[in-house]
Amino acid sequence: MPPRIAQIRLVKSHPHVYAPCDDSYALVDALLADRKKLIDHNPTICMEVGCGSGYVITSLALILKSESNSPHFFATDINPHATRVTRETLEAHGVHAEIVTTNIASGLEKRLAGMVDVMVVNPPYVPTPEEEVGGGGLSAAWAGGENGRSVIDKILPVADNLLSDKGWLYMLFLAANDPLQICLEMRDKGYGAKIVVQRSTEEETLHVIKFWREFDNQVDGGEAGSTPKSAPQRGWDFIFSQLSRLSFREMR
Amino acid sequence: MRLLTHNMLSSNIKGVINGFPLRIEVEKVVEKQVDFNPDFLKNMFSKIDWKALADASKIMGYAELPEEVPDASVLDSDEFLQKFHHALLELHLEEGALVCPETGRRFPVNKGIPNMLLHEDEV
């Protein structure tokens, strides 16, 4: 039996809530690609920032539910319609997440710091005029400001604060967001990175990048163990070559 | 909203220093059964502000938790874990509000979802 994810027919919809689309599918595909690792990771707390229709957090809950040791899930969205729809989508699938209507993780940042083992984010990444960012309705789901980076650049430090020592972040980017630069900034904060899914549609090139804190004794997102010491650098060379090729393709 | 979430939320208004714990105003509490998971509870025990949890569960109508912070040895007791489980995960604030202890600002809770969005002059 294939692993269960959210079923589109059970995902609730609302005129002011972003419906699952190519980007949502890419993010869930990344979680499915990492399914075994996620289960072995044995997270205590998982979180989605910007849960929209609830498609992604419901899928993550279903992926991790198969095991006896179910984690606790949080989901946030700035759009009150979205948090209500997320609750309905979760209930339609018989799973639970604690939902908070808030800007990114405001209100949770103090007490939840260092506790999140898995975080997933499909941010508003579409380049738009700056004044379109942060509206309360549907536009909050996609309006990303200059280079689509306005909200992404606010989320990354919050994620850094919330992630536990073993925390993983799965985040979706558009080529226009300059994911290579994002990876370099995250490396400066001590993170390793890896492309889990990359996909080109007619309109856009999407990649889901996984970040994890790098310590001397832990490399490559829990795939440590037999990995020789030079591996982190090799990993970086690889991601650089992947992302530079993508940027190059976009430019042509 | 579970009390675990209450335990993780604090007032996010600009300038507020001591925004935790938020005072709970109860309109409607519902109980939902959750699979008992002792490992999860043992993981969470050290992260929970005990007094906030004990006070909150009392307001929600469940007065079985010890008021003082229990010693970690209680985690061997199944009876304790069951009570901890019930208070942390099974009591839901379905309708009501969370109130900032410093400013008195109310954050509404509707359909079990707290709304922590701030007004422009609070950010």
Q: CATH number of the domain at B78, please.
A: 2.20.25.10
- Cite the DSSP H helix spans in B1-123: 3-8, 38-45, 50-59, 78-85
Query: Cβ–Cβ of A100/B10 closer than 8 Å?
Result: no
Residue numbers in chain B where pLDDT is lower than 50: none
Mean pLDDT taken over chain B: 96
Q: Which of B27, B14, B7, B17 is nearest to B108 (CA)?
A: B27
Q: Is B115 on the interface with A (CB under 8 A)?
A: yes
Chain B hits for A61, CB-CB cut-off 8 Å, are none
Give A45-83 pLDDT, tens digit per residue: 999 999 999 999 999 999 998 656 789 999 999 999 999
pLDDT at A247: 52
Range of the domain at B41: 3-122
For A21, residues 6+ apart whose C-beta sits below 8 A from its C-beta are none
ipTM over 0.95: yes
Q: And the tokens for A21?
A: 């689309």
Tell me whether residue B5 is exposed, middle or buried, using C-beta atoms within 10 angstroms of its C-beta: 0 to 12, 13 to 18, 19 or more. buried
- Residue range A8-251, CATH number: 3.40.50.150
**Side-chain half-sphere CA neighbours of B17 within 13 A:** 0
Answer whether A165's CB lies under 8 Å from A213's CB.
Answer: yes
Q: Provide the mean pLDDT of chain A.
A: 88
Instruction: Say if the Cβ atoms of B1 and A108 lie within 8 Å.
Output: no
Count of domains forming chain B:
1
The domain locations on chain A are 8-251
| Token reading at A48 | 């989605």
